[in-house]
């Protein structure tokens, strides 16, 4: 299914969530650059994170996550499989707090999470 990953994630007041984007010496991005939290940067942040409960995650799984992160980073409406959505929900659930989880899950899987 195609999912618009450019959607902005909103806080409890309906305001755009903010994110501080870390410096990247390789691409020249300065430190402390502020941006809006989108589904895209939530997904890519989670996919490229390492988690303490996965100390022995093998290279193949890391590679698969990196490939998915690259796909999401490079397309505004990537075609995501059901398995991709399940993985994203699991790792977003590990990486973020309740509001980002709420907003991201509702975009990724709106049918199963109807209010």
Domain count, the chain: 1
**Within-domain flag for 8:** no
**Within-domain flag for 72:** yes
The reported pLDDT for the residue numbered 53 is: 93
User: What is the token pair recorded at 54?
Assistant: 């996965």
**Within-domain flag for 7:** no
- CB-CB neighbours of 62 under 10 Å: 14
Closest CA to 91 of 40, 38, 37, 51: 51
Distance CA 22, CA 32 (A): 6
Distance CA 90, CA 21 (A): 23
Would you write out the chain's pLDDT as a tens digit for each of its 115 residues? 999 999 999 999 999 999 877 666 666 666 666 789 999 999 999 999 999 999 999 999 999 999 999 999 999 999 999 999 999 999 999 999 999 999 999 999 988 766 5
Range of the domain at 77: 18-108
Predicted model pTM: 0.86
The reported pLDDT for the residue numbered 115 is: 55
């Amino acid at each position: 299914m195609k999912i618009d990953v450019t959607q902005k994630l909103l806080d409890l007041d309906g305001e755009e969530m903010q994110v501080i984007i870390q410096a990247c010496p390789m691409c020249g991005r300065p430190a402390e650059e502020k941006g809006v939290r989108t589904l895209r940067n939530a997904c890519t942040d989670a996919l490229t994170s390492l988690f303490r409960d996965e100390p022995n995650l093998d290279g193949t799984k890391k590679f698969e996550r990196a490939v998915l992160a690259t796909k999401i980073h490079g397309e505004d409406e990537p075609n995501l499989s059901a398995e991709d959505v399940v993985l994203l929900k699991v790792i977003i659930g590990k990486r973020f707090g309740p509001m980002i989880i709420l907003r991201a899950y509702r975009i990724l899987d709106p049918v199963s999470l109807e209010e």
